[in-house]
Amino acid sequence: MAITRIGPNQSINLASNITGTLATGNGGTGATSFAPGKVLQTVMGSSDTQLSSSNASDTLLTKAITPTATSSSILCMITLWMGADTNSNGGIKLLRDSTAIGASSNPYSSSNTFWSSDNFLTDPPGSIDQYTVLPFSWTFLDTGISTTSSTTYSVATDSFTQLYYNRAAASANAGDGTSTITLMEIAG
């Protein structure tokens, strides 16, 4: 049997690229089909691009997935690395193609964001560490896909006064990170 190594930005479609019965040896289940809740495929995107921006909106991460069934859901797992700045209020939004999903009412950005903050990483006052880069993680289950067409998920900023992404505020050499987006198709 041939074994293929999968790279960090590649995926295997378990619904169409693997056939037969999963052997019960070594943890297999003997399954020939997958019940609701099973992971059908996983794709991951990452970015180590550093950004110091005062734009109202920047796209930070993008990754596409092609669901195998209209009944599937997509589990979105996001980790962003962000640096601190004075009064860095704004929000972060998750987009399915061009539609904001997982949105809530946020006082520091528009209503299409899932998170917003005033003084992110800076409270209490005077506690700014311009050499710190901290992770921000969020998970969302998108149950409204209803398609087998390629679907693109993006993470973008909304109304940030100042953003340091994958870097510290002090400088690009003061600290860095690699942000990720992982998409998992979940059988419906």
Over the stretch 143-162, which tens digit does the pLDDT of each residue have?
989 999 999 999 988 777 77
Both tokens assigned to 125: 């006052």
Does the pLDDT value for residue 26 go beyond 60?
no
Whole-structure pTM value: 0.74
pLDDT band at 57, cuts 50/70/90?
confident
Q: Quick check: 187 and 40 in contact, CB under 8 A? A: yes
Does the pLDDT of residue 2 top 90, yes or no? no
State phi, psi for 18 to the nearest 5 degrees: -125, 130
Q: How confident is the model at residue 182 (pLDDT cuts 50, 70, 90)?
A: very high
> Lowest-confidence range among 33-42, 87-96, 178-187?
87-96
Burial of 115 per CB tally in 10 Å (0-12, 13-18, 19+) = buried
Least confident of 51-60, 111-120, 158-167: 111-120
Distance CA 188, CA 180 (A): 25
